[in-house]
Amino acid sequence: MLFQHEPELDAFLEFLIWRFSIWVDKPTPGIALMNLRYTDERAVALRGKVRTGLEGPGLTFAQKMWYCVAAVGGQYIWARLQSFSAFRRWGNSEQRPLARRAWGLMQRIEGLFKAASFGNLLIFLYTGRYRNLIERSLQARLVYESPNMNRAVSFEYMNRQLVWNEFSEMLLLLLPLLNSSTVKSFLHPFSKDKSSSSKEDDSICPICWASPTLVYLALPCRHRYCYYCLRTRCAAVPSFQCSRCSKPVVAMQRHGSDVEHKTQSQ
């Protein structure tokens, strides 16, 4: 149900942000951390004076309303139009010509908007004004709220965040490369359970160190393995050797059966 009404939820959240920030001439939490506020660029007259970047009144009533219409209503209408056209398959060649033309028009509008946004980004990087097309069309510019700003985030907190981010990225890189079988195989020689008998050791798979659910024998040594462990190792390693006796495995046989399955090592 939430997925079906995701555009409405996004529009409602955007409206709440606009209502309690721009509408009441207050910055959003992110803009407040950067010591910025919106100002009406049209009302700022140069008159030969040196600009400090602090002058200028806030946004007018019309600018606030148009900002809401563009940022909230425009994004909601476009998201709904895209989902409706995708559900109706306007881009399908079997659709009516009117639907195909509407789909092509939407694609061209989206392409032009992305090109204009990219051009605005380049201009913003050069001049430092108007982060997006809405701000440029309304001439709503972000300026400093006050000339002096105390650091809101301490260096200790920033260092902890950097260390944690690097550590989490390292874990995200390494965890997919590991699995429980590899970890168990690596830690098994260091385990304290070394006094177990050879019969108990022979009853578990030497790869995953668990009791096999589907027991297969490695030939010719006839040591027990899980089918999945033995099959994947033989498929991955051209000349797989038994983990117990180091003899080459040339075939595999189900426990209690006379039918042998040749491995890829042959």
Domain with CATH 3.30.40.10 in the chain: 202-254
Q: Would you place residue 77 in the very low, low, confident or very high pLDDT band (cuts 50, 70, 90)? A: very high
Q: What is the pLDDT of residue 149?
A: 66
- Nearest one of 87, 65, 77 to 11, comparing CA atoms: 77
* Cα 131 from Cα 152, distance rounded (Å): 23
For residue 102 the two structure tokens come to: 């509407």
Give the residue-averaged pLDDT of 21-26.
88
* Cα 250 from Cα 243, distance rounded (Å): 14
Question: Within 89-196, where are the H helices?
Answer: 97-127, 133-138, 155-174, 180-187
Give the residue-averaged pLDDT of 214-237.
84
Q: What CA–CA distances, in Å, run from 158 to 13, 29, 161, 163?
A: 29, 18, 5, 9
When mean pLDDT is compared across 86-95, 116-125, 147-156, 185-194, the lowest value belongs to: 185-194
Which residues neighbour 184 within 8 Å (Cβ) at sequence distance 6 or greater?
208, 209, 210
Q: What is the pLDDT of residue 153?
A: 64
Per-range mean pLDDT, top range of 60-64, 140-144, 157-161, 246-250: 60-64
- Nearest one of 131, 168, 143, 188 to 43, comparing CA atoms: 143
Give how far the C-alpha of residue 178 lies from the chain's centroid of Cα atoms, to the nearest Å. 21
Q: Would you place residue 195 in the very low, low, confident or very high pLDDT band (cuts 50, 70, 90)? A: very low
On the question of pLDDT at 10 being above 50, the answer is: yes
Q: What is the pLDDT of residue 250?
A: 84
Give the residue-averaged pLDDT of 210-228.
84
* Cα 60 from Cα 43, distance rounded (Å): 10
Q: What are phi and psi of 219, to 5 degrees?
A: -105, 140
Instruction: Name the pTM for this structure.
Output: 0.53
- Nearest one of 190, 246, 239 to 223, comparing CA atoms: 246
Q: What is the pLDDT of residue 104?
A: 86
List, in sequence order, every residue forming a beta bridge with 219; answer none if it has no partner: 251
Q: What is the pLDDT of residue 196?
A: 45
Give the residue-averaged pLDDT of 225-230.
85
Q: What is the pLDDT of residue 198?
A: 44
* Cα 244 from Cα 218, distance rounded (Å): 10
On the question of pLDDT at 15 being above 60, the answer is: yes
Q: What is the pLDDT of residue 52?
A: 59
Reduce the DSSP state of residue 150 to 3 states and report it. Answer: coil
Superfamily for domain range 202-254:
Zinc/RING finger domain, C3HC4 (zinc finger) (3.30.40.10)
On the question of pLDDT at 118 being above 90, the answer is: yes
How far the first Cα of the chain sits from its last, in Å, is: 55
* Cα 46 from Cα 23, distance rounded (Å): 27
Provide the CB-side half-sphere exposure for 89 (13 A, CA): 5
Instruction: Give the CA dihedral 191, 196, 202, 204, nearest 10 degrees.
Output: -50
When mean pLDDT is compared across 71-75, 90-94, 96-100, 135-139, the lowest value belongs to: 90-94
